[in-house]
Amino acid sequence: MRSSSMTRSLAVLTVAAAIAVGGTAGTASATPASVAREAAGAQAGVRLTTVENLGLNASEAAYLQDWLALYWGYPGAADGQLDTESWKALQRFLQAKWGYLGAIDGIVGTGTVKALQRRLTAEESYHGPIDGVAGPDTRAAFKRFASPKD
């Protein structure tokens, strides 16, 4: 059995490594660091949740979570942090309506972003490529998607 100080140290080092190696905001897929962070957390008995808001502020993310809870089975609180469960619900939406073919795993990978870009092209004035990269234009259109409609 590991001591709590060792567990905390492992968690801190893993998060620090994830930030150093794969913590850039522009990455659209799971990085080796995020996979290592998840694995290290599981080994240490600590659940480390990856949050990827793709440029949304907490209010916009909470609005999106309310919508996901209402229509797509999001089970969590509208806390403004798009975690794995939020993205699983969004993947269910993207699978049903926008051609997402990947696993419902909550990982914001290329396939998830491509399906999101298809939706954003159709209804949020996104004019960029369907390339799976969550760049500035994708993020701006995602903000429009997650904003309350009049």
Contact 60, 42 (CB under 8 A): no
Average pLDDT score over the chain: 77
Q: What is the pLDDT of residue 10?
A: 37
Q: What is the pLDDT of residue 23?
A: 39
Q: Each residue of 20-68: pLDDT tens digit?
A: 334 333 334 444 444 444 444 444 444 456 889 999 999 999 999 999 9
Q: Each residue of 87-120: pLDDT tens digit?
A: 999 999 999 999 999 999 999 999 999 999 999 9
Name all contacts of 28-33 with Cβ < 8 Å and 24+ positions apart.
28/108, 28/109, 28/110, 28/113, 28/132, 28/133, 28/134, 29/107, 29/108, 29/109, 29/110, 29/113, 29/132, 30/107, 30/108, 30/109
